[in-house]
Structure 1
Amino acid sequence: MELKKQNKFTKQEHNTYLPLRAIHFIRINLVGGKCAHCDEDNTQLGWSLSCDLDIETRWTSGHKNIDDCMKTFQLRTWRYQDMIEWIPFDRLSEVKKIGEGGFGSVYSATWLDVRETSSIIALKTLASSKENNNDFLKEFKSHMICNINYSKLAIYGITQNIETKEYLMVFQYANHGSLHKYLRNYFCTLIWKAKLEILKNISEELEHIHSYAGYIHADFHSGNILQDQQDEIALYVADLGLSRKTNEKVLEGEIYGVMPYVAPEVLLDEQQFIQAADIYGLEVIMTEITTGQRPFDGRKFDAKLGADICGKGLRPEFAPRTPICYIELAKKCLDSNPKERPDAFDVLNTITNWLNKISGSDDNEIKKQFLEADKVIKTLPISKHPNEMYTSKIISTKLISKTIKGIYLL
């Protein structure tokens, strides 16, 4: 379609769905100024917030709650690239299952109406959507709030599988998969500077979730951190199915998660998930980055393990000759007392400082520790647990407490 220089398009073009938002972006707004449809000033280059094309095109998902939810976030969108839309399932091809989580399946697909440089996207089922349970939109809302507040993982909208009737979120596709998968593939060649860059990006994403969105992730482990490479490696924190606002309460007695990454105060049900619990999970990931192995690989994730974590202070081990400064930071974040743990901003600042020292021209103690650690020959241990062990499951906090008290002999 040839671009027109004038700031208008025909009524026929306006009512053509494919690709409606791309037409709006390219034909109307590249020239800047006012939007031809609503005659209001563009809020940013290529986007007019007040121009609501969906009223004219009369789209609907067929589900009022979805329509209302999406419309609410559409009206809060300031940039074209953040726009969400209802995506008809017949506009997706080559749908393939690529993963199974604790709360839904993940697929890759080709989007025929691509708006980015790649047509490959990811789909994740929204739990309970087949049962018409209105709570299934909770995860989508959490992702949208975090996305609006500077989360980097792009969300394109919602679709519905026409055969299963399940609703799915449509995401940016991360071609390196989870952080755990990335470590398994590249662990033996990663130098410490690259590892610290990974941790810097993780802590920055977590800081945005905590400070800007006001959320707790509540399921923070290496399977929920995605790696993507186009021109350079990018990292995204994903899977907000268990996330909640900082003041949101949940039922007591049972929690969901991957036990080795769950903070001891949560396992004991002494305290609800708070942001400090995410920090505990972050530092379990720090140990994983040193070894290339997920925590407590080979042990049963049962009440006995929970009792050892909470009662005996059991923690994942570090690889030999891990820099002392790194271990000291991780141990602070693994403290049994959540008040003694640093926040995500402090962790980000510390890691950024290390990277600056490593890149500096002077010989300093921090730089020396990490360069010496790079001389260690890295070997990747064989995984004893299948991947399914590290998906979120129900955890009985009452059973862990009883085990610690010796009521059950395991």
Structure 2
Amino acid sequence: MQSPFALESFVGRGASGAVYKTRWGGQPVAAKVFFHSQSDLYEKAIQKEISLLERLRHRHIIQFLKTHEEDGQIYLLMDLAENGSLASAINTKSGGGQGLLLDWPTKMRLSREIARGLEYIHHEGVLHRDLKSANILLTRHMEVKLADFGLAQVRQSMSTGASMSNSSAGGVGTVRWMAPELFLEKPKYSSKSDMYALGMVMWEMAANCTKPFQDQPNDFAVPALVKDGRREVLPDDTPAQYRELVKQCWHQNPAYRPDASKAALMMDDEPTEEGRTVDEDCSAISITLNTNGPVVGQG
């Protein structure tokens, strides 16, 4: 049987599949092609991601269109985010990134939109569990769309609007964006773990760098460093309110991190100052250790 659509350019790769640009009904869309697996658990994970996207409807969540199955292959069709991922927008050295030097008002707006997307999914009882710049898409008008819910978890027991303080078991995600509590012997994932990851994404934008802990060549040493309170350092020109939100998101104790609603409100104001541009190869960024808590820069 001939496919009703043809995969065009490669867009990106997520936790459960690769994404391509294609056309459906004459319109450009994105098609997620799930990786092949014989595992029943993997098949259930695919269905979970599809069911999640079917019910999530928000300005800052990627819009699900439909699924298509052909020759045993499942395609998930979504709105196309023409500007690709946030990682591509800020990455200057690898992966063919556009290397956009976003100004501080734009970084604050994008942070606010990410927080609004998190606010919505947390209210719906959903934990993203893999928030990073590579999983944040940008539309033609540079508007945020949270994407790749392959590792997301639904809080079935949670009523709409209830607190998410009761955490759920898990230790999944991308190591360099994961909160310290996820590296414990009995990891616990909560909405506040997503907020820690928001802080990491904000650091990516501030530093114009998409690889945290660059002094660590592999991921193996990162968990111990993060559990000990080690954090990245924000550039000197970081606006005060931006710096403060990152600091709060990075708190060692999840209970002291802001929720997504507070984070969005903290990014409503215009930045108080602007300054120099960070060196594009991230060499201006260092990492520090503070045994009394996380450090995010001077001042």
TM-score range, shorter chain: 0.7 to 0.9
Instruction: Tell me how many residue pairs correspond in the alignment.
Output: 265
- Partner Cα distance (1:215, 1:207) in 2: 10
Matched, 1:139 2:39: no
> Cα deviation per residue 1:364-397 (whole Å; 9 max; x = unaligned)?
xxx5x32xx2x314431169xxxxxxxxxxxxxx
Matched, 1:225 2:136: yes
Query: Superposed, which structure 2 residues align to 1:376-387 within 5 Å?
Result: 376-381=276-281
**Counterpart for residue 104 of structure 1:** 17
Query: Superposed, which structure 2 residues align to 1:229-378 within 5 Å?
Result: 229=140, 232-246=141-155, 255-294=171-210, 295-310=212-227, 312-352=228-268, 354=269, 358=270, 367=271, 369-370=272-273, 373=274, 375-378=275-278
RMSD over aligned CA atoms reads: 2.5
Question: Shift of residue 330 of structure 1?
Answer: 0.9
**Counterpart for residue 180 of structure 1:** 87
| Structure 1 segments unaligned to the other structure (5+ residues) | 1-87, 359-366, 384-410
> Cα deviation per residue 1:175-209 (whole Å; 9 max; x = unaligned)?
11110111132433x22111111111111111111
The alignment's TM-score, normalised by the length of structure 1, stands at 0.59
C-alpha contact 1:129 1:167 (8 A) present in aligned 2: no
| Structure 2 segments unaligned to the other structure (5+ residues) | 92-97, 158-166, 284-299
- Partner Cα distance (1:289, 1:221) in 2: 11
> Cα deviation per residue 1:143-187 (whole Å; 9 max; x = unaligned)?
12222x66542211011243xx22021011111111011113243
The change in CA–CA distance for 1:236 and 1:303 in structure 2 (over 3 A counts) is same
C-alpha contact 1:127 1:136 (8 A) present in aligned 2: no
- Partner Cα distance (1:302, 1:330) in 2: 22
Q: Give me the identity figure in percent.
A: 24
> 3-state DSSP class of the match of 1:121?
strand
The alignment's TM-score, normalised by the length of structure 2, stands at 0.80
- Partner Cα distance (2:243, 2:44) in 1: 44
Query: Superposed, which structure 2 residues align to 1:191-210 within 5 Å?
Result: 191-210=103-122
**Counterpart for residue 123 of structure 1:** 31
- Partner Cα distance (1:234, 1:159) in 2: 27
Matched, 1:155 2:64: yes
Q: Which is richer in helix?
A: 1
- Partner Cα distance (2:142, 2:2) in 1: 30
Task: Please tell me whether Structure 1 or Structure 2 has the larger radius of gyration of its CA atoms.
Answer: 1
C-alpha contact 1:187 1:380 (8 A) present in aligned 2: no
C-alpha contact 1:89 1:159 (8 A) present in aligned 2: no
State the one-letter code of the partner of 2:3.
D
> 3-state DSSP class of the match of 1:109?
strand
Asked which structure has the greater RCO (Cα within 8 Å, sep 6+), the reply is 2
The change in CA–CA distance for 1:251 and 1:152 in structure 2 (over 3 A counts) is closer
